[in-house]
Each structure stands twice: as structure tokens, then as C-alpha cells.
């Protein structure tokens, strides 16, 4: 039996709590791990923004820009899919069971999931501009991606996650979420991601 997610529901099944993540895991607080991933993404995108600012029309792409694109594509291929799964499979379903979201209608989580789909197309656009060795297209793609991620992350960090922390306060639910997130990284061989 899975743990009831909403904080106002009594937890009655501590005997089937999931195993704790090993001590090597970066955090037992699922929200701390989600926030840390955001900081990692923002840091990589900050370097991308600075690197593409140096590009000039008609000039070759710089080594710095190519390295920043490489780092960005690595996180979009490896870290962000794990993070999106944390949100879409671990956090959002539990929020959808809580009032007022359990009553139906479009939720903020639906909007975040639409953003996740759009983000994948932005990464593809970045890759296409790099492949074409087009400095201005790369600048446009990078700046659009940076702006969209900053907006998305600020909505999650400043609105959605604080609300989720209030709705999901049962320590057993938080432990269950942490265990799911850790298991996802064990499967991906990326336990420190």
C-alpha cells in the first residue's frame, strides 16, 4: 500500500515505508534535490549565455561556445530527463491527489509539463544551430532557451515547490519521494545527479 500523500491525511502505514536512500545520496529532502538540480541547470545555462554573447556574424563558433553547448546538451540529455521524471512521476501525481487540484481542471503542474515538452524542442534547436555553425542562430536559440528555463525554474522554485512543501508534509511521503528519486538515479547509473 502506498503512503497517502496529503499532509492532512493521517499516515497509517509506517511499516511499509520505503528503504532510506544510502548516505551517499545528496539529500533526503526531495525538494532540496529538485532545487539543487535547478541551480546546476542555471549555472550551465549562465555559461552558455556568456559564451554565445562573444559570437559574431560571419565568424567561426568559439571553443568556449562549443564547450558551453556541449555541457548544455549533456544536461538536456542526461540530467534534465531525470529531473523532469522526478517532477512528472514523483511530485506532480502526489500534488494532483491534493485539494484543490484533486477537483479537476487545469493545474500548474499541467503547465509545467507543457514547458518540459517545449524545452526538448529548444534543445534540438540549439543542436541544429550548432550543427549549422550559424553564430546568430546559435545566439538566438541559446538566449531563448536560457530565458525560458529561468522563467520555468523561478515558477517552480518560488511558487510551485513552496506550495508543494505545504501540501506534502508527511515525513513518510517525503521519504517515499526521496527513495523514488534515488532509485531513478541508480537505474540511470547517476546516483550523484
CA dist 51 → 48, 64, 80, 126 (Å): 5, 6, 21, 13
Q: Which region among 24-32, 88-96, 154-162, 174-182 touches Fe ion (by CB under 5 A)?
A: 154-162
- Choose one: 54-62, 84-92, 126-134, 138-146; the region binding Fe ion (CB under 5 A): 84-92
CA 68 to chain centre: 19
Least CB distance to Fe ion at residue 10 (A) = 30
Task: Work out whether 176 is an interface residue with Fe ion (CB under 5 A).
Answer: no
What span, in angstroms and rounded, lies between the C-alpha atoms of 141 and 69? 11
CB of 132 to Fe ion, least distance (A): 29
Task: Pick one of 76, 156, 170, 173: the residue that binds Fe ion (CB under 5 A).
Answer: 156
Q: Residue 61 corresponds to which cell in the numbers above?
A: 563558433
How many Cβ atoms sit within 10 Å of the Cβ of residue 19? 9
Beta carbon nearer to Fe ion, 111 or 136: 111
- Please give the residue ranges that form the binding site for Fe ion (CB under 5 A): 87, 112, 156
Amino acid at each position: 500500500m502506498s503512503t497517502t500523500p496529503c499532509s492532512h491525511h493521517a499516515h497509517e502505514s509506517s511499516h511499509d515505508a520505503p528503504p532510506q536512500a544510502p548516505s551517499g545520496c545528496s539529500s533526503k529532502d526531495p525538494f532540496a534535490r529538485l532545487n539543487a538540480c535547478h541551480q546546476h541547470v542555471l549555472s550551465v545555462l549562465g555559461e552558455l549565455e556568456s559564451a554565445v554573447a562573444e559570437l559574431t556574424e560571419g565568424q567561426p563558433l568559439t571553443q568556449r561556445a562549443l564547450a558551453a553547448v556541449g555541457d548544455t546538451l549533456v544536461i538536456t540529455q542526461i540530467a534534465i530527463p531525470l529531473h523532469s521524471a522526478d517532477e512528472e512521476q514523483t511530485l506532480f501525481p502526489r500534488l494532483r491527489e491534493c485539494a484543490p487540484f484533486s477537483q479537476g481542471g487545469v493545474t500548474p503542474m499541467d503547465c509545467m509539463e507543457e514547458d518540459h515538452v517545449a524545452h526538448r524542442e529548444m534543445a534540438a534547436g540549439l543542436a541544429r544551430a550548432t550543427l549549422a555553425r550559424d553564430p546568430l542562430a546559435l545566439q538566438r536559440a541559446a538566449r531563448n532557451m536560457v530565458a525560458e528555463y529561468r522563467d520555468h525554474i523561478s515558477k517552480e522554485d518560488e511558487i510551485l515547490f513552496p506550495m508543494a512543501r505545504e501540501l506534502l508534509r508527511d515525513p513518510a511521503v517525503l521519504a517515499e519521494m526521496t527513495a523514488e528519486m534515488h532509485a531513478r538515479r541508480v537505474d540511470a547509473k547517476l546516483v550523484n545527479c
